[in-house]
A and B are shown apart, each in its own frame.
Chain A
Amino acid sequence: MLDLDRYRKDCAQLSLGAEKLEEMIAMTENQKQKRLARPARAALVAAALAAALCLTAAAAEVPAVREFFASFVTVTVTGTEDGVFAGLAIPPVTVEEREGRMFLVVDGEETDVTDALETDGKYLYEGEGFRVEVDEKGIATITATSSDGETVMSYTSEPLQEGQAPVYTVTDDAGSREMDWVKADEAEASKDQEVTMRIVSEDGEVHTYPIPDGE
């Protein structure tokens, strides 16, 4: 059986050490992050969103859009300040209801958040460059942050029943653009089926775009 007294004494000796901890605190506080100017970042995000949203029938634009959605959602914001590259990427995030339990799925990794939602009313997941907050209704708000912790863009995801395609509501940095995005379920599409992507605008108008195979 576990000798609790000894275990606790052993654990108490596990320590960073005062000097190391102070060094970490100082390093954290002194961290001078390279940052893009906010207007430049906003413009780049807006450009990325515009690339996805301003869809026309022009076939040449579709592959870029697919890349934006296929990885669901990988938003890449690039720019330089003093020659330093800056970028961010968000992996797939969904909330799924199964057998009365609520699961947060981030990049394929499942976390049962049911108890946290009951206790705290929310669940917070910290990712690299983004955070996900799931509320009691199972709505996930994904907030992308730049390297200096500033919010770049955010979008929400409704909880899914099994087999449902995710619906995302995206708001860009300026908060001026909001649309529902509906992703065609590519996984269920057979090789012969044409995979489509639908975007539903605020006024309810549905735009359907075919995604060329092999792009």
Chain B
Amino acid sequence: MTDETFEHWARTYGDTLFRVAFHALASHPDAEDVVQTVLLKLYQEPRDFESEEHVKRWLLRVTVNEARRLLRSPWHRRRVPLEDWDAPAPAPAESDVLDQVMALPGKYRVSIYLYYYEGLSVREVAQAMGAGESTVQTWLQRAREKLRLALSEEKEETGYARP
């Protein structure tokens, strides 16, 4: 891969990879580490990608894999429970929409991001996350239910519902 091609893809998808990693890990420094690793893998990838879409799919999948790997690493396990992929992130300090999403379990956060922000289909989300389509549909459904519940609880507590 030429430096020029690598730089083009890195600049095109760098922020996307960071957002995916951030949704998976709920940590800015960890997300940066994952992006750095993914960029290195991209730089070292020997084959030619068929299209922009192809490289994007590859990058999303590698980013999800790298985030999972970080969660499973002994170093990270000493810091964060291994179940972080399933467990909610720390409670948000501010209750805006992103914080509500980030309070969901990791797999819900990533699927919500890929589906609603990146605009991927359920099938594409499933491919990126290495899960079945029905599993992703379930994650999205449960995520929406949790968000609805969180919003109604917030409304009860404050008497105010976010528009």
Contact = CB atoms under 8 A, between A and B. Distances in A.
Interface of A: 1-4, 6-8, 10-11, 14-16, 20-21, 24-25, 27-29, 31, 101, 104, 109, 111-116, 119-120, 124-126, 128, 145, 148-149
B123 A119 contact: yes
Interface in B8-26: 10-11, 14-15, 18-19, 22
Contacts of A21: 10-11, 14-15
Nearest to B73: A128
5 cross-chain pairs, A with B, having the tightest CB-CB distances, nearest first: A149-B44, A10-B98, A111-B130, A6-B97, A21-B14
Nearest to A25: B10
If over half of B's interface residues share one DSSP class (helix, strand or loop), that class is named, otherwise mixed; here it is: helix
B18 A15 contact: yes
A172 to B, nearest CB: 19
Q: For chain B, which range describes its interface: under 10, 10 to 19, 20 to 34, or 35 or more residues?
A: 35 or more
Given A1-B147, A3-B97, A115-B133, A28 B19 contact: no
B14 A16 contact: yes
Contacts of A113: 130
B41 interface: yes
Nearest to A11: B117
Given A14-B22, A112-B132, 12 more contacts: A1-B148, A6-B96, A8-B116, A11-B19, A11-B117, A14-B98, A16-B18, A29-B6, A29-B7, A112-B135, A119-B123, A126-B61
Given A7-B98, A21-B15, A149-B44, A28 B127 contact: no
B112 to A, nearest CB: 8
Contacts of A25: 6-7, 10-11, 39
